Amino acid sequence: MHITEGQFRRIEGCFPTQRGNVKISNLTVLDAILYVAENGCKWRSLPKRFGRWHTIYTRMNR
């Protein structure tokens, strides 16, 4: 499952404001979370296109 920019704009108010040196956008984090939920894989098995799995996992927990 992939979220488009238009779909994300409708819900981006639900996400915390990105501050500081953030390299991964909230849209990418959401796509990675949906990937794990859809495929039932472990966080460590996330494809490299999403960035470091630990970064995604930490942002999801926040």
**Is 57 within the bounds of a domain?**
yes
**Is 17 within the bounds of a domain?**
no
Measure the CA–CA gap between 35 and 40, rounded to whole angstroms: 8
**Is 19 within the bounds of a domain?**
no
Q: According to the model, what pLDDT value does residue 55 have?
A: 92
**Is 18 within the bounds of a domain?**
no
Q: Scanning the structure block, which residue is given the tokens 């039932």?
A: 40
Phi first, then psi: give them for residue 48, nearest 5 degrees.
Answer: -60, -20
Residue 20 tokens, joined = 């500081």
pLDDT per position as a tens digit, 11-38: 989 988 877 778 899 999 999 999 999 9
pTM, 2 dp: 0.86
**Three-state SS at 57:** helix
**Is 53 within the bounds of a domain?**
yes
**Is 47 within the bounds of a domain?**
yes
Measure the CA–CA gap between 37 and 53, rounded to whole angstroms: 14
**Is 56 within the bounds of a domain?**
yes
In total, how many domains does the chain have?
A: 1
Q: Which domain holds residue 32?
A: 5-12+25-61
**Is 46 within the bounds of a domain?**
yes
Q: According to the model, what pLDDT value does residue 7 have?
A: 94
Q: According to the model, what pLDDT value does residue 15 have?
A: 86
